[in-house]
Amino acid sequence: MLVRIGAGLAVIAALALALWLYARAWAPSREDYPVQGVTISAAQGAVDWGTLAAQGADFAYIRAARADGRRDAAFAANWRGARAAGMRYGALIEFSPCRSPIDQATGFMTTVPRDNAALPPVIRLAFAPGCAKRPGRDLLLSNLNTLINLVEGQAGKPALLNVTEDFDQAYDIGAGINRTLWLDGNFLAPDYASRPWVMWTATDMRHIDGVDGPVRWNVVAR
């Protein structure tokens, strides 16, 4: 009996390892999603941008400012690295209901250089652990619109909104603001917004040469 239990546990462990290794390497088919890329921040450490580009990353969104207002310490280095590697690149700022939209926009504008070659800016809408404030929908949408207008004035391009499922359930961003949506969903295409998405974070578990640790791997709808 103990031998059978031990054998069964070994099989389960082997299957779990195989699934974990598969998840680490998985990305959607290029036939379905020809354009794919990463989100990068200081959390990934030093990035070998040439290797990352050679591994199939077509673009990179680089975090410029955190939800707590601090600049991403690696932004400038990552911005230069992506450009030097010939990748398409854009800036991402994390929105916070706990901070003034003008202060958040100032953080973006003083961090991200004006660059006509850059992709449209991204505002990520997610509940951060350090912010428990939950304003009413009208106030949140008003503050978000202020931030969007200021960020777009700096970038010269319409912003994308990267909305998590719980944030969208709380505020129905797709119905309140007419901007391109970028949604999250590990391995399964998301369907939680009131409008179709254009970008999808297909996995936040992918390991790829050139980056230390997992990355958020993003794809663009045809």
Tell me how far apart the alpha carbons of residues 178 and 183 are, in angstroms, rounded to a whole number: 15
Q: Give per-residue pLDDT as tens, 29-42.
A: 999 999 999 999 99
pLDDT value, residue 23: 74
Q: Which domain holds residue 152?
A: 2-220
DSSP one-letter code for 89: E
Count of residues for the chain?
Answer: 222
**Which residue(s) pair with 108 in the sheet?**
none
Q: What is the CATH number of the domain that holds 123?
A: 3.20.20.80
Q: What is the pLDDT of residue 167?
A: 98
Give the chain's domain count: 1
Q: Whole-prediction pTM value?
A: 0.91
What Å distances lie between residue 137 and 22, 74, 145, CA to CA? 40, 33, 12
The reported pLDDT for the residue numbered 20 is 56
Series of mean pLDDT values for 10-residue runs along the chain (222 residues): 56 49 84 97 96 96 96 98 97 97 97 97 95 97 98 97 98 97 97 97 96 95 92
The runs of H, that is alpha helices, within 66-182 are 75-84, 101-109, 137-155, 165-171, 173-176
